[in-house]
Amino acid sequence: MQDKMRLLGEAGLMYFRGGIEKRVAGEHYEGTIRTTGKYQMLVDFGGQRFDAELETTYGKANLTFLISEPARNRSMRNASMN
């Protein structure tokens, strides 16, 4: 659980600071997080997309996840309803 929170925390810092790539390491992984800064939607959930390429104790892992932007999600959802 700590590794997961550390990875998400690093992505959050990238989001707030405008980073595009960062090397990361935890107890059970190491690798790179990248973002192009683009906003993506998944049904009603939207945010900036991040991709992580990791070497883990279980092998290679490729992750894609969003950092949510609740205010922007609401305005986009409201705009699509009008």
Segment-wise mean pLDDT, segments of 10 residues, the chain, 82 residues: 90 95 95 95 88 96 90 55 54
Angstrom distance (rounded) from CA 26 to CA 44: 31
Answering whether pTM is above 0.85, one says: no
Angstrom distance (rounded) from CA 44 to CA 74: 9
pLDDT at residue number 10: 95
Domain boundaries, the chain: 2-81
Amino acid at 15: Y
Query: Is residue 33 a contact partner of residue 14, using CB atoms and an 8 Å limit?
Result: yes
Phi-psi region of 22 (alpha: psi -120 to 50; beta: other; left: phi over 0): beta
